[in-house]
Amino acid sequence: MNRINLSWAYFLIIINFLCGMRKPVSKNENEMIFGIRALIESIKAGKTIDKVFTQKGISNPLLGELHQLIAERDIPNAKVPIEKLNRITRKNHQGAIGFVSPVDFVPLENVIMNTYEKGEDPFFIVLDRITDVRNFGAIVRTAECAGAHAVLVPTKGAAQIGADAMKTSAGALNYLPVCRENNLKEAINQLKESGLKIIACTEKSDHDVYQEDLSGPLAVIMGSEEDGVSPAYLKLCDSSVSIPMRGKIDSLNVSVATSVIAYEALRQRGLK
């Protein structure tokens, strides 16, 4: 290659690099709805919306109608600067972008009732502030394989359930119900009132998971990577367990920890 062609090749590489830097970080257009009116009509039509971003600092009657619908349907909404919306899409979003969930959320009471009606002991995985999509997808995949009946997540402080979550779950989201509740504390109390034993997985517990009875109606709470299960939820638990560690690192990734507990529960439930 002569010097002119080599220089041209370097020029193209630099241009492609700069264009890549300028390219907005976008979501899959197939799961995105942008525009206030489009979002309003989609919600009214019954589409399951996972999350909505609205522009901070603007106000008009149409946006007010959207916010009212979001509140009525308990749809997570984050008010963000216009720069964030523009990074998601360069199209005319009018200050509002929503993401359609690939799954329909199932009411918690329906899963509990259906499980008991089938003569089975309910097994729930409760996620407290698990916001990483890859961790969420991996947990759902494990939960489905281990025979859990549902995953319970809060409306706020949960991973976005979109195409990335579906991919990471290896399609398990097509089979395992996801219950999304606005008040996780009330939901945990509902599980208790329905006869489920509530157990928290926390490294602060001195009770080995292999010493715990996991064979009956059960809900296991898994906490965030940063600070574990919230103290308010620990108070609601019947027991807390830890996973024994023998190495120099004293904690596991939350999806791996979920696997350990879910399969110990499967072993015990299988024996019973």
**In this structure, what CATH number is given to the domain that contains residue 248?**
3.40.1280.10
Are residues 167 and 185 located together in one domain of the fold?
A: yes
pLDDT tens-place values along the chain, 272 residues long: 454 444 544 444 444 444 443 333 344 445 889 889 999 998 888 888 888 999 998 888 999 999 999 998 888 888 999 999 999 888 888 899 999 888 889 999 999 999 999 999 999 999 999 999 999 999 999 999 999 999 999 988 899 888 889 999 999 999 999 999 989 999 999 999 999 999 999 988 889 999 999 999 999 999 998 889 999 999 999 999 999 988 888 788 999 999 999 999 999 998 65
Number of compact structural domains in the chain? 2
Q: Is residue 254 part of a domain?
A: yes
What is the DSSP annotation of the chain? --HHHHHHHHHHHHHHHHHHHHS-----GGGEEESHHHHHHHHHTT--EEEEEEETT---HHHHHHHHHHHHTT--EEEE-HHHHHHH-SS--TTEEEEE-SS----HHHHHHHHHHTT---EEEEESS---HHHHHHHHHHHHHTT-SEEEEESSSS---SHHHHHHTTTGGGTS-EEEES-HHHHHHHHHHTTPEEEEE-TT--SBGGGS--SSSEEEEE-BTTTBS-HHHHTT-SEEEB----SS-----HHHHHHHHHHHHHHHHHH-
**Residues of the domain holding 266:** 108-271
Whether the pTM exceeds 0.85: the reply is: no
Q: Are residues 154 and 232 in the same domain?
A: yes
Residues 150 and 247 in one domain: yes
Whether residues 123 and 230 fall in one domain: yes
Of 71, 100, 129, which marks where a domain is finished? 100
Asked whether residue 8 is assigned to any structural domain, the reply reads no
Q: Say which CATH number the domain at 46 has.
A: 3.30.1330.30
Q: Are residues 191 and 151 in the same domain?
A: yes
